[in-house]
Structure 1
Amino acid sequence: MIEISADVQAIIEQAMLSFVATVNEDGTPSLSPKASLTVRNGVLYFADIASPRTIQNLTRNPAVEINVVDIFQRRGYRFKGQALVLPPRGDEYLTVANWVRSTNGPEYPVDHVVRIEPTSITPILSPAHVFAKPARSQEEIRNTYYRKYGVQLTGE
């Protein structure tokens, strides 16, 4: 299994939103936003809160790609791999479901938890990282996009 580094985990936590691509029955792509992507004990998971098509697609074809990008750091990761839809009530399911409910509220349904076995993890870098000459620091890039999106940081 491919190791999920501390940086990958940090980006997932900071970005808060990821996009999961699956394959529909007719072969067309299906893209679904997820705010539940998480790493637990070195393993990648997301919860099925309102994603019946995603679960149907993964049950039929476990191929999955997930993209997560921190919009302020202008970088992230692409995960390709195989998904396993976990049955409710197992240990892995309960760990993720309890986290979703503690984060969002007890009213959030968690119908399934999906475990992802990545076959590749590759960095995603925006042009802010690739083409800037001279290279800018991560702090410079982050501050540029805080200003661009009107983010006011508190407590600094």
Structure 2
Amino acid sequence: MIEITADMEAIIKQAILSFVATVNEDGTPNLSPKASLTVRNGVLYFADIASPRTILNLRRNPAVEINVVDIFQRRGYRVTGRGSILSPGNEEYLMIADWVRATNGPEYPVDHVVKIETTSITPLLSPAHVFAQPPRSQDEIRRTYYQKYTV
């Protein structure tokens, strides 16, 4: 399993929304937004709150890819790995379910928790980082996108 660094964890917390891709039965991609992606003890998890297709796909094929990008920093990470489905009663399931409910409210259903065994993590950088001449600092990029999104 690839280590989740402090920077990766910070991006996940700041971005809030991530996108999880799984493989449908016919081989086409299934992309599902997740606001429950989190890191605990160096391990990546997300909750199945309303993701029956994601869970069905992972039962058939555990391949998963996750993209998480902080829209203001214009950078993030692509995580590739294998998802294992944790059911209610599992200690790790309870840890994530408790966090989801504490964060969002007790009415949030957590049908399953998915634990990701990471096999690859690569940085994602927007052209704002790659092509700007002269290069801009992270603070300059953040200010630009705060203005762009009127934050």
TM-score of the superposed pair, with normalisation by structure 1? 0.96
Match of 2:21 in 1: 21
RMSD: 0.4
SS in 2 for 1:7: helix
Instruction: In structure 2, list runs of 5 or more residues that go unmatched.
Output: none
Letter in 2 for 1:50: A
Using the alignment, how far apart are the partners of 2:40 and 2:102 within structure 1? 15
Q: 2 CA distance for matches of 1:107 and 1:31?
A: 25
User: What is the correspondence of 1:105-124 to structure 2 with a 5 Å cutoff?
Assistant: 105-124=105-124
How many angstroms does 1:111 deviate by?
0.2
Q: Which residue of 2 aligns with 1:79?
A: 79
SS of 1:99's partner is helix
Alpha-carbon distance in 1 for matches of 2:98, 2:87: 15
TM-aligned CA deviation for residue 97 of structure 1: 0.3
Q: Structure 2: how far apart are the matches of 1:66 and 1:131?
A: 25
Once the two structures are superposed, residues 100-145 of structure 1 have per-residue CA deviations (whole angstroms, 9 ceiling, x without a partner) of 0000000000000000011000000000000011110000000000
In the alignment, the residues of structure 1 paired with residue 86 and residue 97 of structure 2 have an alpha-carbon distance, to the nearest angstrom, of 11
Pairing 1:125–2:151 present: no
Give the % identical residues. Answer: 79
Query: Scaled by the length of structure 2, what TM-score is found?
Result: 0.99
- Equivalents in 2 of 1:66, 1:80: separation in Å? 6
Structure 1 runs (4+) greater than 2 angstroms displaced: none
How far did 1:88 drift? Answer: 1.1
